[in-house]
Amino acid sequence: MDNRPIGIFDSGIGGLTVFKEIRELLPNEDLIYFGDTARVPYGSKSVQVIRKFSSEIATYLTLQNVKMLVVACNTASALALSTLKSETSLPVIGVIDPGVRAAIKFAGDGPVGVIGTRATIASGAYQDRISRLRCNLRFVARACPLLVPIVEENLMQSDIARMALEMYLSDFKKQQVSSLILACTHYPLLKSLINEFFEGKTVLIDSALETALEVREVLQARRINSDSTQSGHETFFVSDSPEAFSEIAADFLGRPVAGECFLHSWQNEI
């Protein structure tokens, strides 16, 4: 047994979708979340910059004595996962493979839609994995760069959000995609609007639950799950504006991230 915390990171608040599922599935594990709010979004940045940022955060979390790294960011998973695995002996889990497996499960005859940041879509990571697992399955992919700032600014129920979804998803609706992979951990925060746009006829896939299940499997396989019977402790780190993060995170999690939790501002300590 290993009572060290699990380290989870994302470019901003989107990874809280993964954090929330891990917490519900593993209530006794200690969790550390890092949101790189000073440098969000990652999707418009170069491969080299994304890898650099991801390595910096992984190093920082390792210094917090974590036992596992969960890359709760599709862009970082697509472009930096192999780099992180080569830099640490810790188990490193991304969000792409769990999401693809779930999408194929519900795909039927397809096609499968994929929406994500520019960097995620340009990497071809989702398209490649879909083709490997089911080579005859059609897919449609599109970058939706406006959606991350909409979520980061807490505009999930705004007219701006609806207009952006109409612009990005009209072609998916015309092609009658059977399932749609929300290939960015920010996008599940728009899930109700996306479901409304598709009139409930398309299965929406976010990798949060599937990733949490994989985290549990790896912990058990490596025998590093916690033996604590107490509720897990939570620590939140952000690279900018803890107050703004706290407000949005509380709305999403349905509870405050202060009090029994701790909110820190990262001061370029690496």
Q: How far apart are CA 198 and CA 213, in angstroms?
A: 27
pLDDT in the model for residue 41 = 87
Q: Which long-range contacts link 49-53 to residues 24+ away (Cβ below 8 Å)?
A: 50/75, 50/76, 50/79, 50/80, 50/119, 51/79, 51/80, 51/83, 53/11
Under DSSP, the state recorded for 122 is H
Whether the link from the prior residue into 41 is cis, omega within 30° of 0, is: yes
Give the phi and the psi of residue 143 in degrees, each rounded to 5.
-80, 140
Locate 62 and state its tokens.
């390792």
Q: Is 73 a catalytic residue?
A: yes
* CA distances to 86, 99, 118, 184, 248 from 160, in Å: 41, 27, 20, 19, 18
- Confidence bin at 260 (pLDDT 50/70/90): very low
What would the two tokens of residue 239 be?
């690279």
Which domains does the chain possess?
Answer: 6-94+209-265 (3.40.50.1860), 96-207 (3.40.50.1860)
Active site residue 135: no
Q: What is the pLDDT of residues 209-225, one digit of tens each?
A: 889 999 999 999 999 99
Per residue in 12-49, pLDDT tens? Answer: 888 999 999 999 999 999 999 999 988 988 988 999 99
